[in-house]
Amino acid sequence: MSLDRIQALRKSLHDHNFRYYVSDNPIISDFEFDKLLFELSELEQKNPDAFDPNSPTQRVGGEIVKSFDSVVHRRPMLSLSNSYNQDEITAFIKRCQSVSGEELDLSVELKYDGVAISLCYENRKLIRAVTRGDGVNGDDVSVNIRTIKNIPLILPNVAPNELEVRGEVYFTSDAFEDLNKKRFDSDGAKFANPRNAASGTLKLQDSFEVATRRLSALMYSVYSDEFDFKTHIESLRLISEWGFPVPNQESGWIRSCKSVDDIFQYLSFWDTERHSLPFAIDGAVIKVNSILIQEKIGFTAKSPRWAIAYKFNSEKVLTRLREVKYQIGRTGAITPVAVLDPVWISGTVVRRASIHNADQIAKLNLHEGDSVWIEKGGEIIPKILEVEISKRLIGSNPIKFILNCPDCHSLLERKEGDAQHYCLNMDTCKPQIKGRLNHFIHRKAMNIDGVGTETIDQLVEIGLVHKPSNLYELDEEDWFKLDKFRDKSVKNVLAGIEKSKMVSFERVLFSIGIRHVGSTVAKKLSKHFGSIDSLINASESELLDVEDIGPMIAKSLRSYFSNQSYLLEIEKLRAIGLNFKSEVINKSGNKLVGFSFVISGVFEFFSRDEIKKSVEDNGGKIVSSVSSKTDYLLMGSGVGPSKIKKADLHGVKRLTENEFLRWIGSSK
């Protein structure tokens, strides 16, 4: 009887939540709702076996999370290309029309200034909520997302079994003001802006505290292999009926546009009216409305070609230059940074602005104590636009770029054609040493548990570590010399260092810090050459044969491997046990080289990640959507009819799991 009552209460409360937060049509009072919720909570406490993470009682939080698991996105969360003027918008539309071969219906909607989130549903239940992260991996913040009252936990039967909905988690202006007032009243520091507050709140370990802060959400995209969405706007209308918060069409937050003039009218209106919204925005997003045409236009490695973000004109503020400081990067590059009188701009207090290099200082004609105009534009770090000459102090001296390294005092050098000055003292210049070590331990690189930036600072300052190989040479006594390192922390860090020896070659290659070799380039190089020896011995022309490797990267690689001290460090790391050779999965050869695959459905012998890895291990290429350039649709069970239809439309061959296994010669 209790279990039946629990299920009935959950169903009723989910329905009342939908009526209150989505339909804006409640049929019971808050008092009656709370009474039902209290009854459910008591019954769940008496029947712990009936626990359900999607119960309405979970919205009040209370669970403590010690850490957030990293999760691979089922579909990469790409970022949007930015535009700042009408010419760029016009060019974007022309490109899309050229590829599609027809006049386009476009959607334009507000770009919410919050935190991107992916909501994953299976069997119509929320199973996971993941932050964007780096686009490939994000943090599982499901416990905290369940406290957001306008996000549905259970979907109606008309919704597909598998569904991914993406959107933005944000603070309304009222909720943000309340949060800052509470923090101020309790002697806490105020949040600088709503976006930072939302990001910080999603990473709180106490979900009860998250629930008290009143986060909100709005959805902007939807994906399913089981459902054929026709247009972007239709997809939002449908998920609205399933309980999701979406942009309000009646208020003009999203609009269908038939012409460039319609889009510009929308942008002009919201550039002026954005301050009247109940939440912060930082622009608008223009998308091709048809899902079929979206897939025809396709993607770059980083962003969809069928969508673009438009950034509103940024604020321009006048403030005073206090001084210019100089930062030293891990490669020895010297970057000047302006220290400013603090000023509020575009939602944050700005105290610093990048000046980039010596040429920029000369171009701005900066003098000591100048009044300068700054803006954020689309940049994360604010920049100086120009000097207000009318306010220049009489007798002030021009800012001159330094001649010597601010740390080790070595003479700086600047190569012909290079915008940066460099400190070439890589052996004893501490900021460079720390920078290289911090890069080495980074999560995308060696990801050594127990070693962070503060630990690296201590190790370098007391002279225990100068190069990555030194980390592996430390014993227990060395680690006990550090502040806050006791038995447990020393044990953890030694285990983390030992575990890092299992890291793949591509990540080791990224970790050693070759200039211009990021994680993606390292992956391509490790796949192509297979070992560090083959890469070291590759000529510049052989490097240029690798996909996406240009002259700049090739020259950087040849320069790095011509340096005897770098080669010696690689040999030390190899002797320690780091992996400088790709794992060979299939000894019979690269059977899938030259073919591209879209993966869809549920597989019998592989998880989704395993079958992707199998394709790549055999030389194939994974692409995110079906297009005329796709060779195969690799299908498991439950493939959506729209995927099959698009594959047939573009002449893409269908491939079953068993056919795939026979092709690669697997015995599974």
Rounded distance, CA 568 to CA 639, Å? Answer: 51
User: Catalytic positions, please?
Assistant: 111
Can you spell out the DSSP letters for 27-81?
Answer: -S-HHHHHHHHHHHHHHHHH-GGG--TTSGGGGG---B-S---EEE-SS--PPPP
Cβ–Cβ under 8 Å, residues 146 and 126: yes
Distinct helix (H) and strand (E) counts, the chain: 25, 21
Element (H, E) at 612: helix 608-617
Residue with tokens 């709370």: 34
**Beta carbons within 10 angstroms of residue 302's beta carbon:** 12
Three-state SS sequence of 300-367? CCCCECCEEEEECCCCEEEEEEEEEEEEECCCCEEEEEEEEEEEEECCEEEEEEECCCHHHHHHHCCE
Rounded distance, CA 508 to CA 473, Å? Answer: 18
First to last CA, the chain: 47
- Pairing between strand 125-131 and 115-122? antiparallel
What the block records as the tokens of 122 is 């299976």
Rounded distance, CA 291 to CA 228, Å? Answer: 9
Can you spell out the DSSP letters for 133-146?
Answer: TTSSEEEB-HHHHT
Can you spell out the DSSP letters for 79-91?
Answer: PPPEE-SHHHHHH
CA atoms within 13 A on the CB side of 48: 0
* Chain center to CA of 432: 26
Collapsed DSSP state (helix, strand, coil) of residue 426: coil
CA–CA distance from 643 to each of 33, 292, 364, 368, 625 (Å)? 43, 10, 54, 62, 9
Name the nearest CA neighbour of 140 among 64, 201, 203: 203
Angle at 540 between CA 538 and CA 543, to 5 degrees: 65
What the block records as the tokens of 647 is 């594959």
**Beta carbons within 10 angstroms of residue 235's beta carbon:** 22
CA atoms within 13 A on the CB side of 175: 21
Rounded distance, CA 361 to CA 353, Å? Answer: 12
Can you spell out the DSSP letters for 491-508?
Answer: HHHHHHHHHGGGS-HHHH
Cβ–Cβ under 8 Å, residues 666 and 588: no
Can you spell out the DSSP letters for 530-564?
Answer: -BHHHHHT--HHHHHTSTT--HHHHHHHHHHHT-H
Cβ–Cβ under 8 Å, residues 216 and 173: no
Rounded distance, CA 236 to CA 308, Å? Answer: 18
341: left (phi > 0), else alpha (psi -120 to 50), else beta?
beta
CA atoms within 13 A on the CB side of 37: 18
Q: Please, what's the largest Cα pairwise distance for the chain?
A: 87
